[in-house]
Structure 1
Amino acid sequence: MGKNFLMVAKTLYGLEDLLVKELRDLGASEIEKGVRSVSFQGDTGFMYKANLCCRTAVRILKPISSFNVFDEDQLYKRIYEIPWENHMDSRGTLSVESTVFSKRFTHSKYIALKTKDAIVDRFRDRFGHRPDIDRYHASLHVHIHIDRQIATVSLNSSGPSLHRRGYRVAPVAAPVSEVLAAGLIMLSGWSGQCDFLDPMCGGGTIPIEAAMIACNIPANINRAEFGFEHWPDYDPELFELIRNSALKRVKEFHFKIYARDRDPLAIRKTKANVGEASLEEFIDIQQADFINSEKEDKEKNLFILTNPPYDQRLSLRDVSDFYGRIGSTLKHGYAGSEAWLFAANETALKSIGLKPKKKIKLYNGKLEARLVGFNLFSGTLKARKSTSTS
């Protein structure tokens, strides 16, 4: 086995505990939770496994240098001193991204540009030519993080964000990201124990992530490439071994996932995305309007999770009325079910008119949002209390 080293998995706000559990279950050691991040230790094979299997990670970083920095010239000098030729060929391609939390440094794009300049200048000075820039398919993805005066330089083993699973060939307006969709499902507690319905499925991201969770399919099995595949020490045989081992853990799923939407274009895009993910046997896709609908099989347990429009990136004529009708449909048509709604409109969620059992604060992009759960009982609350005490 190879030597363990430090890695940092980046995630979304509110998904840190889920990522800790994922990494622990995969076999990571020295796990420490941060804000939107989890640090851990593992070897090269584990780095491959984490990229392939983690549903709630946005990227997996391998730190290579950390130092104090007080101005841009000092940053340039310290970046220049790193032996970048050990990590990529001078005729390769480069991508640099940065995150900055500092009073001294206030512009993340400028920090990324300064970092890029230092790297390419080192190559030019030593080899007479420099790497080109390629944002998505670079030979090396570099990440620099500045927290106050401490700069940490990392190699991004994932490349572009891990929310790019590879199956979304037909995008829709205002989609929920694949990482967030997986997080919503995992936070709700559904893992394949009953039928699942997304009645406003958009492009099908939530149903697809649900199917992959239920069947234990590796999250990024459809991804075209990872950043580490371009590294000089990439071991394709080891990665294939990791990949085959993960696929052996795929399990059967004996229930059904229903993807519904009233928009025929959304349904066509859902079918395209589900087909790209090769999940047609698990996901039933039909055009249907959820409002005033009823549970298709009243004898079966049903779990509902959806990300309805909430008048932010998609406009609604009367958002309160729309959410009121969602609440009425849930109450009268889906008694005996469990329902979870994710929205970035507090007023809209209050208009549902049902008492939530749980609220979880999250973000959808920069929008503060809530994942809200409801138990949909039959009859009135008064009648249920009377029955339970008799």
Structure 2
Amino acid sequence: MQLLIKTFHGLEGVLAEELKGLGASDVVELKRAVSCSGDKELLYKANLHLRTALRVLVPIANFTAKNEDELYSEIKKLDWSKYMTTKSNFAIDAVASGDIFKHTKFLALKTKDAIVDQFRESTGIRPSVKVEDPDLQINVHVAKDKFTISLDSSGESLHRRGYRDPGHKAPLNEVLAAGMLKLVKWHKEIPLIDPMCGTGTILMEAAMMACDMPPAFKRKKLGFMSWADFDKILWNKIYSEAEEKISYPRVKIVGGDNNPQAVDIAKKTSLDFRLNRMISIVRSDMKEHMPHASRGMMITNPPYGERLQKEDINGFYKSIGSHLKKNFHNWQCWMITSNNEALKHVGLRPQHKYTLFNGPLECKFVGYDMFEGEMKEFKKKINRSRRPQ
């Protein structure tokens, strides 16, 4: 079985390593995705365990179509009775790039028509469309005139861990937060601080990693559970094995924020997942938040400046740099921001740089090695601290 796993730009390498760890073969990094080979067990494990995946797709067809009539014909050629019945409901998710097919709603409509017409002509009955929580989610991807048709085994995007209200808009996507932690090679032996934690996304992702809690552990439903070939016995086995591995080690994960409402949400979130003993959250200003260990990592997502005047945001970033320089000796400090101008006012030279996307915003994820004395000695300390005990 071929799988295509979607992710954010910049996290392809991290996702590839995750897949290899699950036993995937033929792993290939693509643009905002990774392809691999595996069986049904890998499909289930990928949906349960992958921290940097957005969706796990199963491609079922590739073809070329230069207009809507050719698209309709190619879709109708596929034997949809392999995947659904007249009692099934389905939905179409279309993604397009290029000059030929520009309107995703039209693509979805033509695909729907072809599927419905096939069933109506063969059985006299048509399956129904259901936008929310369908039995079968079909993904249509076209680049110029090259189509890939896939089944979406995840259903709702995998960034939905279950620790946020569906209507809550966090400033940092859960998959991005997990990817950042993996990029910097954080592990549970390294003290962690997020002094501008907001509602606690980085803290939650770190705590779930520390106790080996799968990111989809609390999900009630995944797309493949509605498929005709769903193997409930296999899924229960995989889920039980994952549950047995969860532990609650002693870790130092600390967050702070000056917004009392955000702090309350972060505390409730950690309590709902029984991670409140691993995460300490206080109401504090960035400039008041001090390191709680002699060495560790700070990872944070500061304001980008949408609500502040230019001089205010530049001054704020300058104060961040001053605070780190004065108080975070022997720590590695990371921040992600889309405000390149404000980033210059931090006044520190980053030793590490990544380009990532927070939603539509292109961001720089930069790391500063804060040290006293020789850089060579500091690097030795950091490398020692990164080694799992």
The reply to whether TM is greater than 0.5 is: yes
1:83 Cα offset (Å): 2.1
What letter corresponds to residue 162 of structure 1 in structure 2? Answer: L
Deviation at residue 358 of structure 1 after TM alignment: 0.7
Tell me the equivalent position of 2:381: none
Name the structure 1 match of 2:80: 84
From 138, 147, 151, the counterpart of 1:151 = 147
Alignment of 1:176 with 2:168, yes or no, is no
Identify the match of residue 109 of structure 1 among 97, 105, 108: 105
Contact persistence 1:51–1:220 (CA under 8 A): yes
CA distance in 1: counterparts of 2:157 and 2:236, whole angstroms: 21
Matches within 5 A, 1:158-307: 158-169=154-165, 173-295=169-291, 297=292, 299-307=293-301
The reply on whether 1:60 has 2:56 as its aligned counterpart is: yes
- Does the 8 A contact of 2:248 with 2:278 survive in 1? no
Q: Work out the CA distance in 2 between the residues paired with 1:387 and 1:84.
A: 62
- The percent of aligned pairs where both chains have the same amino acid is 39
Q: Which runs of 5+ in 1 are unaligned?
A: none
TM-score (norm 1): 0.91
Letter paired with 1:316 = L
TM superposition shift of 1:39: 0.8
Could you say which residue in structure 2 is the equivalent of 1:308? 302
Aligned AA (2:277): E
Q: Report deviation, 1:170.
A: 7.8
TM superposition shift of 1:174: 4.9
- Output the CA distance in 1 between the equivalents of 2:238 and 2:377: 54
Number of equivalences? 376
C-alpha distance in 1 between matches for 2:376 and 2:210: 37
Q: Which of residues 345, 366, 372 in structure 2 aligns to 1:372? A: 366
Structure 1 range deviating more: 259-268 or 77-86 = 77-86
Residue from 129, 132, 140 that aligns with 2:136 = 140
Q: Is the contact made by 2:65 and 2:147 (CA closer than 8 Å) also made in structure 1? A: yes
- For 1:24, which of 15, 20, 33 is the aligned residue? 20
Distance 1:249 1:321, change over 3 A: same
SS at match of 1:248: helix
CA 1:343–1:171 in 2, change beyond 3 Å: closer, same or farther? farther
CA distance in 2, matches of 1:276, 1:350: 39
Displacement of 1:253 in angstroms is 2.7
Counterparts of 1:332 and 1:342 in 2: how far apart (Å)?
Answer: 21
Aligned partners of 2:331 and 2:370 also within 8 Å = yes
Question: Could you tell me whether the CA contact under 8 Å between 1:212 and 1:218 is conserved in 2?
Answer: yes
Q: In 1, distance between residues paired with 2:81 and 2:377?
A: 74
- Bigger Cα displacement from structure 2, 16-25 vs 214-223: 214-223
In structure 1, what is the Cα distance between the partners aligned to 2:234 and 2:297? Answer: 39
Give the 3-state SS of the residue equivalent to 1:291 in structure 2: helix
User: Do 1:14 and 1:36's aligned partners in 2 also have CA atoms closer than 8 Å?
Assistant: yes
User: Which amino acid in structure 1 is aligned with residue 203 of structure 2?
Assistant: P
Q: TM-score, normalised by structure 2?
A: 0.91
| Pairing 1:345–2:339 present | yes
